[in-house]
Amino acid sequence: MRQNPTTLSRQCLVLGALALALMASGAGAQQAGVFVTSTTIPTDQGVAFADAQCNSLASAAGLSGTYVAWLSTTTENAVDRLVATSGPFVRASPSAPAATIADDIADLTDSSLDNAIGFDESGNVPANNSVWTGTLADGTLELNRNCNDWAGGGFPDATHGQPAAADLDWTQADNRTNCGVGRRMYCFELPSVAVPAMSHWSKGALVGLFLAGLTATYLLRHRRQTAA
């Protein structure tokens, strides 16, 4: 059965309008807060403990959302802990000067940040300019430099970062830090709901339908005006 041309053109317009709305809203991108912890953490309690500290501090500061620590282990790179997060990454505390840290994960791991993370969960500048990471600039583990997977013992030092830095030193500073000393860490927010980004092809196809709907609508109206 042939579909009514008017109905078909309306469907094209609706689908195309949806595509335009999705592109305008940046579907797939979810802003994620980042902060430096106001307290130091030991290196022998594991990543789960670090995550719990992130969320405890965030909650106490009135920040919503779920956070994970930017720490790498032999089984999970720090960047892989953020797979569900599209970005942009921004300073979490509303009391800190608003700034985008990185547009997305690719931008986060290209050896430089748009702006230094620089502030803790309450919007204060950390007194100690050093954080644990165990992580290279590309977001992966620096082998043998993560205090034995943050379980204590083993190798005597670990890779650390500098929260005031916007170059690769933010996560991969030149010198190493003794595992016996407590340091701060970075906490990254995860999205509450992962929204898959539309591919350029999908957007293009829907925009094509929108344009086809416009054309069909114009031709139908022109035909009716001519017939009248």
Residue 69 lies in a domain: yes
Please report how many Cα atoms fall inside a 13 Å half-sphere around the Cα of residue 97, on the Cβ side: 6
Token digits for 176?
A: 């190493």
Residue 155 has pLDDT above 80, yes or no: no
Cα distances from 9 to residues 18, 36, 226, in angstroms, run 14, 53, 19
Same domain as 137, residue 76: yes
pLDDT recorded at residue 22? 47
Residue 23 lies in a domain: no
pLDDT tens per residue, range 51-99: 999 999 999 999 999 999 999 999 999 999 997 777 899 999 999 999 9
Averaged pLDDT of the chain: 82
Cα distances from 222 to residues 2, 16, 86, 228, in angstroms, run 21, 22, 45, 10
Same domain as 42, residue 151: yes
Give the model's confidence band at 191: pLDDT under 50 very low, under 70 low, under 90 confident, else very high: confident
pLDDT recorded at residue 224? 67
Domain interval for residue 222:
198-228
Residue 99 lies in a domain: yes
Residue 25 has pLDDT above 50, yes or no: no
Residue 52 lies in a domain: yes
Same domain as 57, residue 150: yes
